[in-house]
């Protein structure tokens, strides 16, 4: 039976941090603030996969109060979500994520992001969707104060 989960994540843009999205370091004047590497794309996908199997969210598994996750690569969070799917006898059918950012331009990095996500989840790259949009200069995204990610995951679980 196919189950679907959704995920959402947002982080503020700040000076003095590197910008990592989908496991790709993107040259930019600002990076995302957070306890780990603040990869909003991988955080949203992690929650989507966990939601599809009815599990807890990323904050319960990897709390920002735990020093062991300080500056951790978010790929390990996504790998753990995939491991939990397999532990339930399931398989990830596909995932899709949309990024909302005014700057920098995301399109040149999408292929690398898709490859990183596919590798972390153990699925073919053709089962990974990554898209980007702006917020048409509206809200915190439009003012370039942060970046948001929305994700969905489809997981096939035994009955």
pTM: 0.96
Say if residues 102 and 138 touch (Cβ distance below 8 Å): no
pLDDT greater than 90 at residue 146: yes
pLDDT greater than 90 at residue 141: yes
Produce one character per residue of 38-64: b if its CB has 16 or more CB atoms within 10 Å, e if not: bbbbbbbbbbbbbbbbebeebeebbee
Burial class (CB in 10 A: 0-12, 13-18, 19+), 32: buried
Taking the alpha carbons at both ends of the chain, their separation in whole angstroms is 6
Q: Calculate the average pLDDT of the chain.
A: 97
Say if residues 48 and 36 touch (Cβ distance below 8 Å): no
> 159 falls in which pLDDT band (50, 70, 90)?
confident
Q: What is the predicted pLDDT for the residue at 23?
A: 98
Q: What is the predicted pLDDT for the residue at 122?
A: 98
The rounded Cα 8 to chain-centroid distance in angstroms is 8
Total number of domains in the chain: 1
Across the range 63-69, mean pLDDT stands at 92
Q: Which of 60, 9, 82, 67 is nearest to 36 (CA)?
A: 67
Q: What percent of the chain has pLDDT over 90?
A: 98
Tell me the CATH number at 15: 3.30.1330.50
> 113 falls in which pLDDT band (50, 70, 90)?
very high
Q: What is the predicted pLDDT for the residue at 21?
A: 98
Which residue segment(s) compose the domain that 142 sits in?
2-156
pLDDT greater than 90 at residue 149: yes
Across the range 120-142, mean pLDDT stands at 96
Q: What percent of the chain has pLDDT over 70?
A: 100
Q: What is the predicted pLDDT for the residue at 74?
A: 97
Q: Which of 157, 93, 78 is nearest to 128 (CA)?
A: 93
CA atoms of 96 and 30, how far apart (whole Å): 25
pLDDT digits (tens, 9 = 90+) for 75-99: 999 999 999 999 999 999 999 999 9
């Amino acid at each position: 039976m196919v189950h679907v989960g959704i995920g959402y994540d947002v982080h503020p843009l700040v000076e003095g941090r590197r910008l990592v999205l989908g496991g790709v370091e993107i040259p930019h004047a600002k990076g995302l603030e957070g306890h780990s590497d603040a990869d909003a794309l991988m955080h949203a996908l992690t929650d989507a996969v966990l939601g599809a199997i009815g599990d807890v969210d990323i904050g319960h598994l990897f709390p920002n109060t735990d020093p062991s996750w300080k500056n951790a690569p978010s790929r390990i969070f996504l790998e753990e979500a995939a491991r939990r799917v397999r532990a339930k006898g399931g398989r990830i059918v596909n995932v899709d994520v949309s990024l909302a950012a005014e700057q920098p331009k995301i399109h040149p990095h999408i292929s690398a992001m898709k490859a990183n996500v596919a590798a972390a989840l153990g699925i073919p790259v053709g089962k990974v969707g990554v898209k980007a949009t702006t917020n048409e200069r509206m809200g915190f995204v439009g003012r370039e104060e942060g970046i948001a990610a929305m994700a969905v995951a489809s997981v096939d679980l035994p009955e």
